[in-house]
Amino acid sequence: MTSQRTDTPLDARSIATLLRLLASKLDPTPKTSSDDPAASAVATVRAFLDAYASGDIRTATERVAPDLVYRVPGQSTISGTFEGVQGLNALAAIAPRQGAADLATSTEQLIPSDDGSTVASYHTLTGTLDNQRIAIELTLRFDLRNGQIATITEYTHHQKATDNLFAGATNSRLNTGR
């Protein structure tokens, strides 16, 4: 009996599982050397995420390239491609739909490439939607250029739940050319 190999593309959940497995093999002690491009990339992404999560979008924008491209999958008003600092500001201004409460995002892991050009991050969004607890897992890929975040690509593990969270959300500043 021979086994037949089938190659299938990885979905976001598989990617996150692989990232967690790889992270478990890494030294958990963060490097702090400014000569280490991976540590520098992690510091940039961490500063961006911390500022963004706290609502300090001005500080978050200091970590991104002027021509930032942020891609968000899905079919809701938060989905699309947001470009530049203006696009990041528009994305940050989108509120979840009515019925969403006590939303919080936790960053579980940041995993850099050796050369510091890419950082993968794993997050969990928790809260209440229509009186039911939710937990949505996200993986973000940050591509850096010259010490700044040039692209962010979001991979949502529960796309329908994310689309539902932002269904009907409105923002008059969402003219980002997506």
What percent of the chain stands above pLDDT 90?
39
In the predicted structure, residue 130 carries a pLDDT above the cut 90 = no
- Short-list 29, 53, 56, CA closest to 42: 29
Q: Which of 155, 153, 173 has its CA nearest to residue 17?
A: 155
Q: How much is the pLDDT for 51?
A: 92
Q: With pLDDT > 70 as the criterion, what percentage of the chain qualifies?
A: 72
The pLDDT assigned to 166 comes to 72
Q: What are the chain's domains?
A: 36-165 (3.10.450.50)
Task: Tell me the per-residue pLDDT of 52-111, one tens digit each, with 9 for 90 and over.
Answer: 888 899 999 999 999 999 998 888 777 889 999 999 988 888 767 666 778 888 888 999
Q: What is the pLDDT of residue 58?
A: 92
Sign, CA dihedral 66-77-140-123, equals positive
pLDDT at 31 exceeding the cut of 80? no
Q: Above 60 in pLDDT, residue 175? A: no
53-63: pLDDT as tens digits: 888 999 999 99
Q: Is the pLDDT of residue 174 over 50?
A: no
Local structure of residue 172 (DSSP, 8 states)? T
Q: How far apart are CA 150 and CA 146, in angstroms?
A: 9
In this model, does residue 172 exceed pLDDT 50? no
Q: Given a cut of 60, is residue 132 above it in pLDDT?
A: yes
pLDDT band at 22 (very low <50, low <70, confident <90, very high): low
Q: What is the pTM of this model?
A: 0.72
CA distances from 68 to 20, 83, 87 (A): 27, 6, 8
Identify the three-state secondary structure at position 176.
Answer: coil
